[in-house]
Amino acid sequence: ARPRPLGPYDTSEPITPWRDATTYNNYYEFGLGKDDPAREAADFRTRPWTVVVDGLVRRPQRIDVDTLTRWFPPEERIYRMRCVEAWSMVMPWSGFELGALIRRVEPLSTARYVAFTALHDPERMPGQLSDVLPWPYVEGLRLDEALHPLTLLATGLQGRPLPNQNGAPLRLVVPWKYGFKSIKAVARITFTREMPPTTWSLAAPDEYGFYANVNPAVDHPRWSQATERRIGDFARRPTLPFNGYADQVASLYAGMDLRRNF
C-alpha cells in the first residue's frame, strides 16, 4: 500500500521497528527491566476501562474508553520520543488531541493545570507491590500545554491497538517533553488550580522537574542531555531543543527561565 502523505505534525524520520518499540519499555508498574513490561503486562486486562474526569470542570463525568474513541476518532501522528535516559525512538501513535476532550468537558476559568493519574491496582500491576516509586503514577501539564495540538491521548501504535506495555488502553503523549511525562494507563484526568505533583519530581526533585521539556542545554545531574541514542542506530545524535518541536511550542515558555523550570 502507498503510505499516506505526511501531515504537518509528522516526522519523516525512519519509524522505530515494532519489536524495539514493544520490548524496550519503561513501565515500572510491570517491572524495572526494559523487557519486563512486554512479558509482565501480557495478560493485563484493559476492558472495561473508565476514565474519570473531575476537578474544576463544568461537566465532570466517567467515560468508557471506547466511548472516547467514538467521540474522537483516532488519527495517526508520527512523533519523536525522547526518554530522559538519553535514548529515543520514532513512534507512529494513533490517538486524538487531548484538547478535543478538554473542550468537550469545559474546564472552569479557575482551572490552570491538568493532573493525570494512572490506574492503581496492585493485583493487576504487580510492580505497585514494591515501593520503588510512590503509587499511583501521576503526571501533570499546564492547561495551555494540555490544549496544544501536539498533545495526544494515544490508543494505538503503528496502526494496531496500543500494546499493553506501551500504556493501553489510553496513554498521554507529549512529544516535546521527556518520555516520563507521557503517563500510561490513564484512569483519571483532574482539572486543578495548583500545579499538581508528578511522580518523578516526587521521587527525585533534584533530578526531575514539573516541566521536563527536552533541553540539550540542561544536563541531568548524573549524565549529559546534549546527545541521544536513537534505538537501532550506532552513533549518537544531537538532542534538539524541545525535541525538535521548538517552532510549535517554544512560545508556551516565553519569559520563563527553563534552567530553573527544568
**Residue among 253, 61, 93, 247 at smallest CA distance from 179:** 93
**Residue among 81, 95, 85 at smallest CA distance from 21:** 81
Q: For residues 46 and 8, what is the distance between their CA atoms, to the nearest angstrom?
A: 31
* Chain position whose Cβ is nearest to ligand MTE: 179
By CB under 6 A, name the one of 51, 78, 83, 141 that touches ligand MTE: 83
How near is the Cβ of 34 to ligand MTE at its closest, in Å?
A: 9
Does 158 help bind ligand MTE (rule: CB under 6 A)?
A: no
Three-state DSSP class for 227?
A: strand
Contact segment (CB under 6 A) with ligand MTE among 41-49, 55-63, 179-187, 243-251 equals 179-187
Cis, peptide link before residue 169, omega less than 30° from 0: yes
Using CB under 6 A as the binding criterion, the count of chain residues that bind ligand MTE stands at: 16
Q: For residues 197 and 138, what is the distance between their CA atoms, to the nearest angstrom?
A: 7
Q: Measured from the CB atom, is 56 or 214 closer to ligand MTE?
A: 214
Does 137 help bind ligand MTE (rule: CB under 6 A)?
A: yes
Query: Binding string to ligand MTE for residues 102 to 121, with x set by CB under 6 A, is what?
Result: ----------------x---
Does 49 help bind ligand MTE (rule: CB under 6 A)?
A: no
Could you please report the per-residue DSSP string of 7-22? -TT---SPPPPHHHHH
Q: Which residues contact 39 (CB under 8 A, 6 or more apart)?
A: 31
How near is the Cβ of 143 to ligand MTE at its closest, in Å?
A: 21
Q: Exposed/middle/buried for 13, CB within 10 Å: 0-12, 13-18, 19+? A: middle
Q: Measured from the CB atom, is 148 or 184 closer to ligand MTE?
A: 184
How near is the Cβ of 32 to ligand MTE at its closest, in Å?
A: 9
**Secondary-structure percent of the chain, ordered helix, strand, coil, rounded to 5:** 25, 25, 50
Does 25 help bind ligand MTE (rule: CB under 6 A)?
A: yes
Q: Measured from the CB atom, is 87 or 107 closer to ligand MTE?
A: 87
Does 51 help bind ligand MTE (rule: CB under 6 A)?
A: no
- Contact residues for ligand MTE (CB under 6 A)? 25-29, 81, 83, 118, 137, 166, 179-180, 182-185
